Amino acid sequence: MSSSIAMLALAAATQIPLPTPLPKDFVFGLPLVEKVLTTVSEPRLPVAEQAEKVVRIVMIPAFPGMRAVVSRFTLRADGLEVVTKTLVDWRPGPGKVVVLPTTRLPTSRWSEIDDALAPGLWLFQPGPFPDPRVMDGAIWFVEGSGPRGHVAVIQHSPGDSPFRKLCRKLMWASGVDFTEWEFVSWFAAR
């Protein structure tokens, strides 16, 4: 009899409380990407074909205490212009925006990115979003605009793929000084 009481006490002590329901204004996926882009005052990329080549990456972590990163890369005659903005504490309030200084990189850096664009963006066949196998992963969004028109891909913590390799190149070129924890959480071995 005492062993069954002890087992009941142990079972009661190890029960996990029910999670709190999501707020009614909770957004995920593309609506969250659009909310972040609006909050950091990012312009829309042109949908029509244009001569100027622009690529933007948006990385939104699973937890609002971590910073979201938005980087826009524009190929100009004098090199690659990189505009990077971060957003912290983006839920439940509007968050705090930090705009990093605009940087210019040599055109050769665009070549590194451009080599990854065709397989990672233009030709990439994304899996389902959200990925049913991922419980609390980050949102990865990349869009490009240029002579080929406009294309966008959204993924939920993607595994090894050309898209993930493109994202890694873009994040390295963004100018963000990532903490080891941030980088490992986004690019951990899968």
**What DSSP string runs through 71-92?**
EEEEEETTEEEEEEEEEES-SS
**In angstroms, what CA-CA distances link 49 with 52, 76, 132?**
9, 16, 34
> What does pLDDT average to in each consecutive run of 10 residues of the chain (190 residues)?
57 53 66 92 89 92 84 91 91 85 89 88 78 74 91 87 90 82 59
Q: Are 24 and 120 contacting, i.e. CB atoms less than 8 angstroms apart?
A: no
CB atoms within 10 A of CB 132: 9
Give 11-58 as a 3 state SS string.
HHHCCCCCCCCCCCCCCCCHHHHHHHHHHCCCCCCCCCCCCCCEEEEE
The C-alpha R_g of the chain, in whole angstroms, comes to 20
Cβ neighbours of residue 93 closer than 8 Å, sequence gap 6 or more: none
Whole-number pLDDT of residue 156: 84
- Residue bearing tokens 């705009």: 99
Task: Report the pLDDT value the prediction gives residue 55, as an integer from 0 to 100.
Answer: 95
Say how far apart CA 87 and CA 94 lie, in whole Å.
9
**Residues sharing a CB contact under 8 Å with residue 130, sequence separation 6 or more, in sequence order:** 28, 29, 156
| Structure confidence at residue 189 (pLDDT) | 47
Element holding 186 (H helix, E strand)? helix 180-187
User: Which pLDDT does position 3 carry in this prediction?
Assistant: 64
What is the pLDDT at residue 16? 54
For 1-36, letters b (16+ CB in 10 Å) and e give eeeeeeeeeeeeeeeeeeeeeeeeeeeeeeebbebb
In CATH, 26-187 is 3.40.1710: no
So what's the pLDDT on residue 128? 72
> Which of 47, 69, 67, 46 minimizes the C-alpha distance to 59?
69
In this prediction, residue 91 carries a pLDDT of 74
